Amino acid sequence: MTDYRKYFKNQTLPGMSEMETDMMKRRPLPPIQKPYPAGAKLVDLPKPEDFRGLSTASLYEAIANRQSRRIYSDEPVSLAELSFLLWCTQGVKGLIRDGLVTLRTVPSGGGMHPFETYLAVHNVAELDAGIYRYLAIEHQLLRVSREVRTTRVEITEICNQQPYVGQGAATFIWTVRPYRTEWRYGEDTLKDILMSVGHICQNLYLACEGLGLGTCATVAYQQDELDRFLGIDGENEIALYVAPVGRISGEDSIP
């Protein structure tokens, strides 16, 4: 039962001189983000400079009021609000190291940022329902699925029938491409990835508080079904974390 505890520890530090990662072998660094087809039609998002002042809460207020919220109204989220949330959680501020590494709004070990952000969109103004992937470098959306019939129902079923998961305006789903971090950190990859996705999700919580929105992250889902829902292989890219977002309705005091 306690075997998993070894993953809390840095596996490689005692024998660093013996560790040989692909970075040490000078193998190419995998791409910053998952490629997409040339000529794909992308959805433009409001730029960061366009939503300055969108958040109405101070940082103190956002931290003080932060809580998991599972009750959402039927009011849509605006495209500007969605753009703000995407930028807060995975926004790219610049490229370094010959364009191979990004500086972002969240930390990640070695600047590897191995995550992709998918959205199951249900009720966002100016955006058709469906599944999208956020292209952080371009700050645009790529439509992954044009099927709009059952995104609410499917994501709810996949997340063990937790009704709130499909009741928001959009559901954030973060995946990881492990090799992006394995390339640099070898056996310490798991620990780094799990800490880094926590940084991302906390930014979502705080950004939601600033907009009068709510979120409640969950890892209670059926892995294979969620991977299939997103159209990923579950090996080189793996679904990791789910967080619905919606406008707050009523009180939900569970932390």
* pLDDT tens, N- to C-terminus, the chain (255 residues): 677 887 787 765 555 446 688 888 888 899 999 999 999 999 999 998 888 889 999 999 999 999 999 999 999 999 999 999 999 999 999 999 888 899 999 999 999 999 999 999 999 999 999 999 999 999 999 999 866 556 899 999 999 999 999 999 999 999 999 999 999 988 889 999 999 999 999 999 999 999 999 999 999 999 999 999 999 999 999 999 999 999 998 666 555
Look at residue 58 in the predicted model and tell me its pLDDT.
93
Are the C-beta atoms of residues 158 and 229 closer than 8 Å to each other?
yes
Are the C-beta atoms of residues 66 and 252 closer than 8 Å to each other?
no
Look at residue 146 in the predicted model and tell me its pLDDT.
62
Q: How far is CA 79 from the centre of its chain?
A: 17
Q: Which two tokens stand for residue 236?
A: 């080189």
Instruction: From 146, 144, 145, 134, select the one nearest 83 (Cα to Cα).
Output: 134
Look at residue 107 in the predicted model and tell me its pLDDT.
96
b/e for 136-148, b at 16 or more Cβ within 10 A? beebbbbbbbeee
Q: Which two tokens stand for residue 44?
A: 């433009």
Q: Give the strand pairing for 115-121 and 238-247.
A: unpaired
Q: Which two tokens stand for residue 190?
A: 């798991």
Task: Give the residue carrying structure tokens 């009741």.
Answer: 167
Which secondary structure element, helix H or strand E, spans residue 171, and what is its range?
strand 170-176
Third-level CATH fold of 57-247: NADH Oxidase (3.40.109)
Domain residues of the chain, as ranges? Answer: 57-247
Look at residue 164 in the predicted model and tell me its pLDDT.
96
| C-beta atoms surrounding 239 within 10 Å | 25
Are the C-beta atoms of residues 204 and 243 closer than 8 Å to each other?
yes
Instruction: From 215, 218, 240, 216, select the one nearest 230 (Cα to Cα).
Output: 240
